[in-house]
């Protein structure tokens, strides 16, 4: 993993989270003139500010392709080295369990969440008292991964970040996602990533509770 070690710890955490999340390592097809894999991450226009924020950590290693609405890299030995950690022989993506030991900074959680997560609010109405109770939950929509891999990610997050996620059933993908079930863990998660996400205002609807609360009050 020498190529990965050339990145800073922050870059390692963001890159691994990005590949688990919205990013992908491109394939090298037969008869291709490329010798190495590259990175690619599609996004919608409403998320461009977030993708620019993410790419800003990489000193040109990742860049925005305006024409294709992608975060990209050139072909590099780094991605050739990483490819078998994320993909099996059939090209199916997996959580790189052996690489999680590098993912101990809150940047990992922040990017995984902003890529593939949501701040979901459940409401309870007390008509007699004329009150609406809001209960926030963090969801990580990683249903494309097997439940066994999600369990290992769940244990990793608990060990290094002390946040409890539970497996929750879904009808799509492989049937499971991760979610917080207690308000305590939801706010612990948001507190962990707050110093990292403060300069990414386009994602405040996910990361900034005060901003989200005002949105919910307006509803």
C-beta atoms surrounding 23 within 10 Å:
24
Beta bridge partners of 71: 41, 64
Inform me whether the pLDDT recorded for 3 exceeds 80.
Answer: yes
pLDDT cut 70: percent of the chain above it: 100
> 129 vs 172, which has greater pLDDT?
172
Residue 219 to residue 216: CA distance in whole angstroms: 5
pLDDT tens by residue, 50-104 = 999 999 999 999 999 988 899 999 999 999 999 999 999 999 999 999 999 999 9
Task: Reduce the DSSP state of residue 216 to 3 states and report it.
Answer: helix
pLDDT tens by residue, 196-214 = 999 999 999 999 999 998 8
Instruction: Give just the sign of the alpha carbon dihedral 204, 206, 207, 211.
Output: positive
Residues 6+ apart with CB under 8 A from 180: 137, 138, 163, 164, 165, 166, 186, 189
How confident is the model at residue 219, as a pLDDT? 79
Q: Please state the rounded mean pLDDT for residues 13-33.
A: 92
| pTM of the model as a whole | 0.94
Inform me whether the pLDDT recorded for 217 exceeds 90.
Answer: no
Q: Please state the rounded mean pLDDT for residues 22-49.
A: 91
Inform me whether the pLDDT recorded for 1 exceeds 80.
Answer: no
CB 114 within 8 A of CB 206: yes
Inform me whether the pLDDT recorded for 7 exceeds 90.
Answer: yes
How confident is the model at residue 14, as a pLDDT? 98
How confident is the model at residue 98, as a pLDDT? 95
pLDDT tens by residue, 143-196 = 999 999 999 999 999 999 999 999 999 999 999 999 999 999 999 999 999 999
Please state the φ and ψ torsions of residue 118, each to the nearest 5 degrees: -145, 150
How confident is the model at residue 42, as a pLDDT? 94
> How many Cα atoms occupy the beta-carbon half-sphere of 162 within 13 Å?
5
How confident is the model at residue 215, as a pLDDT? 87
**128 burial via Cβ count (<10 Å: 0-12, 13-18, 19+):** exposed
The domain spans of the chain are: 1-89, 104-219
How confident is the model at residue 73, as a pLDDT? 96
CATH number for region 104-219: 3.10.28.10
Beta bridge partners of 205: none
CB 179 within 8 A of CB 137: yes
Inform me whether the pLDDT recorded for 125 exceeds 90.
Answer: no
H or E element at residue 15: helix 9-20
């Amino acid at each position: 993993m020498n190529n990965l070690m050339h990145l800073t710890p922050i870059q390692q955490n963001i890159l691994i989270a990005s590949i688990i999340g919205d990013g992908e390592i491109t394939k090298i097809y037969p008869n291709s003139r490329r010798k190495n894999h590259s990175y690619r991450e599609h996004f919608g226009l409403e998320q461009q500010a977030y993708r620019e924020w993410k790419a800003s950590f990489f000193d040109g290693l990742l860049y925005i392709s305006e024409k294709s609405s992608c975060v990209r890299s050139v072909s590099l030995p780094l991605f050739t080295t990483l490819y078998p950690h994320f993909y099996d022989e059939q090209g199916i993506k997996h959580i790189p369990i052996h690489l999680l030991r590098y993912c101990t900074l809150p940047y990992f959680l922040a990017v995984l969440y902003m890529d593939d997560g949501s701040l979901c609010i459940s409401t309870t109405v007390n008509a007699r008292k004329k009150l609406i109770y809001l209960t926030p939950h963090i969801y990580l929509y990683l249903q494309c991964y097997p439940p066994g891999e999600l369990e290992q990610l769940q244990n990793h997050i608990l060990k290094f970040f002390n946040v409890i996620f539970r497996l929750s059933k879904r009808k799509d993908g492989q049937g499971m996602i991760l979610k917080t079930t207690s308000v305590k863990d939801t706010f612990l998660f948001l507190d962990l990533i707050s110093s990292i996400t403060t300069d990414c205002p386009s994602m405040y609807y996910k990361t900034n509770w005060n901003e989200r609360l005002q949105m919910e009050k307006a509803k």
